[in-house]
Chain A
């Protein structure tokens, strides 16, 4: 073959070897074999999935940590409640002793009353703004001081609410009873009136969900008034029906030592693994009112110590003891969840390692190989340059003098 000009070949060879140096340098400096999708389309596509998995695992880990602190707050709340209940039961037992005089019992009642206040305070524990015993109603304290009567804000003497007035379909009115520990929820169906609400509340009172005698009537001021009609039974009422407006406790009708649960029974589930969710917290009604009415039993013990007989005090303090057992039992699922979260935390850190190693296999570069590649590419580049420098300037004219 007749060779006329070696410059194009040399340029091509230098270009190729410089590209090889640049590629090897990029791999070594970034530590990555795949820097853009075209370096390895299949690995790049797998990386998309793998990185999404990593992001999920990181988030699960962060969820586990924030749940752990929330659940530990709940757990320590329950722990102090158990201690408080235990001291109340002890007081009750000594109060039931026939030899205790009335003055002592009044003092004991005051002691139990402060125990009750501390139990309610613990039941209203909040962790970073979340009321942990409120079910999914986490934005306000789940236990509120109960009153005998709640009145609507709508309705006046001049323009009174009437029994035949229609309510807003879909709106919800709840009545939480401190004595029964239960909550009655009324969801308005299309066409239902105030009278339907009154009937439903009377029915709930008859079936024992609400204290006997609880009614909903239009009062002299033209407002809807929901009340227990008893000085000792307290309730808390709320509604989102604009026909009634917010329900407020009538002033002076607060019942001492009575607390109603205004949270709900729902439990949030939080995902801490691809197919693993844990329940967050324990709703207050499950913990304190749906079994033995724990808060109510303290209220009863105070009343019994104030006015009751030894037998009544004994019965009331037994009720506190069984409440104590119940709360202790409810603590077990919570503790189980905490230990599940701890083991999930370990699993997730293992998972992070697995994913990291998968990613480094997909797109990473073996540093030793990359360094070898670079020095080899440099060597080849030098050789090409040296050859070019030697060959290109050569011409016959140099020899023709």
Chain B
């Protein structure tokens, strides 16, 4: 036991307090950095002093710091982020689709009923030129409404298609960065150090990747391994495997793994999964319903029109131009006649007969080959769009709430509390001050010791 031992203890104490202050400082500095995991100073008692007769405490050492990481919560957040991005990708498309099927002056349902009204109005005066013109205008409006709905869905699909390419290129950049961090982190771990900063960076990259697509995460000694939902590896050790896109025969970009296998249908979550789901399932489903309705309605209308006679007594011609294939009917339907006298109102060939108009009106109440009346078929479409959007909205809300909850839990473990760090600052400040006081005390003791000799000499 000696003054110099005490001085050593005081110096260690000063150094530990400085280190702990630095950590508190770093925590405060990164309080708002995304993905930052707070660090805790690891203080430990120093090896005890032993002079052979007694053993005594020998002060404190700062052995390092520890990141307050919770990998389970991080994994849950990654999964919820995948679900949220997937739902939001679908929701934003659905919100663009919804107005097309909302009752307005231009939607298909309103135009369809306007066409039937114009026909009914014509039946009170079948030879009236303005009333015939009104039927043509209503028919044209209906065809335009079908075209508009179909074109909007198709252009949305085209937009989603380019989103797929963008997402894939972002995924490739991210997997490269994640793979590059793997060996660095492994090296730090092997040397027993906390890989905090690099690990935070990598976790944040994985979270960003999760927003793009569903990934499976496995942690091993050589770093994390990432796979797609179908098990295709994306990152193994220091190596990353890039995805590619290829234009398929359907005109859509398909996603291929590094072996060239088409994995488009297995992509389920994240922005890419949601985008592909919208592009390949939801929109084609709605388009197909729309095409079927346009095709069956137009065909039924033409069939009745051709059984009647026009104002000049000639056999009726087709009212709508219909293509043979059902797919694309809504986009291509248009008026076949532009001359009001060609409306086949007459059932007996006389100009004033309205017999065939009754048959045209009857289409409204008769089931199409789909089994539903035209109005009910359209109502089903509206219901589908509404329920898809309502479900996506509900899911998005639920996922957001659960994500908030998880983030709160994670923050509870890993987040920086400014108040807490402020108290840490005070704690270590005081520790530093006390240690400094010890140094000055020992200094004065040394002086006393020195002056003992001087006083004796004097």
**Interface residues of A, Cβ cutoff 8 Å to B:** 1-5, 8-9, 12, 35-42, 44-49, 51-52, 55-56, 58-60, 62-63, 66-67, 70, 128-131, 134-139, 172, 240, 264, 266, 268-271, 274, 277, 280, 395-397, 400
Please tell me if the beta carbons of B127 and A138 are within 8 angstroms of each other in the complex. yes
- Contact at A36–B102, with CB atoms within 8 Å? yes
State which of A3, A139, A269, A271 has its C-beta within 8 Å of the C-beta of B412.
A3
Q: Give the distance in Å from the alpha carbon of A51 to the alpha carbon of B112 in the complex.
A: 11
With a cutoff of 8 Å between Cβ atoms, the chain B residues found around residue A47 in the complex are 103
Which of chain B's residues have a CB closer than 8 A to the CB of A62?
121
**Cβ of B113 and Cβ of A51 under 8 Å apart?**
yes
B-side contacts of A131, CB under 8 Å: 352
- Which residues of chain B are near A134, meaning CB under 8 Å? 352
- The A-contacting residues of B in range 411-427, CB under 8 angstroms, are 411-413, 415-420, 422-423, 426
Residues of A close to B292: CB separation below 8 A: none
Is the CB of B98 closer than 8 A to any CB of chain A?
yes
Say which residue of B124, B313, B348 sits within 8 Å of A266 (CB atoms).
Answer: B348
Secondary structure of the B contact surface, majority rule: helix
Name the segment of B190-198, B317-325, B386-394 touching the other chain.
B386-394
Q: How far is the CA of A66 from the CA of B420 in the complex (A)?
A: 84
Q: A48, B379: Cβ atoms under 8 Å?
A: yes
Interface residues of B, Cβ cutoff 8 Å to A: 31, 94, 98-99, 101-103, 109-110, 112-114, 116-117, 120-121, 123-128, 313, 346, 348-355, 358, 361, 364-365, 375-376, 378-380, 382-390, 393, 400-401, 404, 407-409, 411-413, 415-420, 422-423, 426
Indicate whether A38 sits within 8 Å of B393 (C-beta atoms), given known contacts A2-B417, A56-B113: yes
Instruction: With both chains docked as a complex, state the minimum distance between the C-beta of B296 and any C-beta of chain A, in angstroms.
Output: 17
CB distance B124 to A55 under 8 Å?
no
Given the known A-B contacts A268-B353, A397-B422, are A37 and B348 also in contact in the complex, defined by CB atoms under 8 Å?
no
Residues of B within 8 A of A8 (CB): 404, 407-408, 411
Is A130's CB under 8 angstroms from B375's CB?
no
Which residues of the partner chain B approach A35 to less than 8 Å between Cβ atoms? 102
Q: How far is the CA of A60 from the CA of B123 in the complex (A)?
A: 11
Decide if B124 touches A45 in the complex (CB within 8 Å).
Answer: no
A10 nearest CB across to chain B (Å): 11
Contact for B114 among A40, A45, A55, A277, CB less than 8 A: A55
In the assembled complex, which residues on chain A have CB atoms less than 8 Å from the CB atom of B102?
A: 35-37, 44
Residue pair A42, B350 in contact (C-beta under 8 Å): no
Do the beta carbons of B351 and A270 come within 8 Å of each other?
A: no
Contact A48 B358 (CB under 8 A): no
Complex Cα distance, B350 from A131, in Å, reads 13
List the B residue with the shortest CB-CB distance to A70.
B124
Which of chain A's residues have a CB closer than 8 A to the CB of B408? 1, 8-9
User: Cα distance A62–B419 when bound, in Å?
Assistant: 76
Contacts of A52 in B (CB 8 A): 109, 112-113, 116, 364, 375
User: Are A36 and B379 interface neighbours, CB within 8 A?
Assistant: no
Inter-subunit contact B418/A138 (CB<8 Å) = no
- A58 in contact with B352 (CB, 8 Å): no
- Closest chain A CB from B135 CB (angstroms): 12
15 A-B contacts (beta carbon < 8 Å): A2-B413, A2-B415, A2-B417, A9-B404, A12-B404, A41-B384, A51-B113, A66-B124, A128-B128, A129-B125, A130-B352, A139-B352, A240-B313, A268-B352, A395-B422
Complexed CA–CA distance, A288 and B250 (Å)? 69
Pairwise interchain contact A270-B117, C-beta atoms closer than 8 A: no
State whether B390 touches A38 (Cβ < 8 A).
yes
Q: Is the CB of B350 within 8 A of A264?
A: yes
- Which of A36, A37, A271 is in CB contact (< 8 Å) with B358? A271
Q: For residue B380, which residues in chain A have a CB less than 8 angstroms away from its CB?
A: 45
Distance in Å: Cβ of A193 to nearest Cβ of chain B? 23
Q: Are A3 and B117 in contact (CB under 8 A)?
A: no
Q: In the complex, what distance in Å separates the CA atom of A287 from the CA atom of B379? A: 47
A2 touches B412 (CB 8 A): yes
| Chain B residues in 8 Å Cβ range of A139 | 127, 351-352
Contacts of A135 in B (CB 8 A): 350, 352
Contact of A271 among B101, B109, B123, B128 (CB under 8 A): B123
Residues of A within 8 A of B349 (CB): 172
Contact of A63 with B412 in the complex, beta carbons under 8 Å: no
A388 to B162, CA, bound (A): 41
A4-B412, A45-B383, A66-B124 known; 12 new pairs, CB 8 Å cut-off, are A8-B404, A37-B390, A38-B98, A38-B386, A41-B386, A130-B125, A136-B126, A136-B350, A138-B351, A240-B313, A266-B350, A395-B418
* Distance from B155 Cβ to chain A, minimum over Cβ atoms (Å): 20
A66 touches B125 (CB 8 A): yes
For B350, give its contact among A45, A70, A137, A274 (CB under 8 Å): A137
Contact: A41 with B124, CB < 8 Å?
no
Q: How far is the CA of A35 from the CA of B125 in the complex (A)?
A: 38
Most chain B C-beta atoms within 10 Å of own C-beta, residue among A3, A128, A129: A3
Q: Are A49 and B411 in contact (CB under 8 A)?
A: no
A55 touches B412 (CB 8 A): no
What residues of chain A lie closer than 8 Å to B375, measured between beta carbons?
48-49, 52
Which chain B residues lie closer than 8 Å to A70 at the CB level? 124-125
B400 (CB) vs chain A CBs: closest residue: A12
Contact (Cβ within 8 A) B125 A128: yes
Q: How far is the CB of B148 from chain A (nearest CB, A)?
A: 17
Q: Given known contacts A55-B114, A55-B116, A130-B125, is B350 in contact with A37 (CB within 8 Å)? A: no
B112 and A1 within 8 A (CB): no
Residues from chain B with a CB closer than 8 A to the CB of A395 are 418-419, 422
Q: How far, in angstroms, from A268 to B123 measured CA to CA in the complex?
A: 8
A41 to B382, CA, bound (A): 7
Which residues on A sit within 8 Å (CB–CB) of B355?
Answer: 136, 266, 268-269
What is the CA–CA distance of A36 and B386 in the complex, to the nearest angstrom?
A: 8
Flag if B98 contacts A49 (CB, 8 Å).
Answer: no
Q: A44 — which chain B residues lie within 8 A by C-beta?
A: 102-103, 382-383, 386
CB distance from A265 to the nearest CB of B (A): 10
Chain B residue at smallest Cβ distance from A58: B117
Q: How far, in angstroms, from A277 to B123 measured CA to CA in the complex?
A: 11
A66: chain B residues at CB < 8 Å are: 124-125
Residues on the B chain within 8 Å of A240, using CB: 313
The one of A45, A55, A58, A397 that contacts B418, using a Cβ cutoff of 8 Å: A397
With a CB–CB cut-off of 8 A, which chain A residues contact B422?
395-397, 400
Known: A37-B389, A42-B383. A136 touches B353 (CB 8 A): yes
Q: Which of A9, A48, A56, A240 has the most CB of B within 10 A?
A: A48
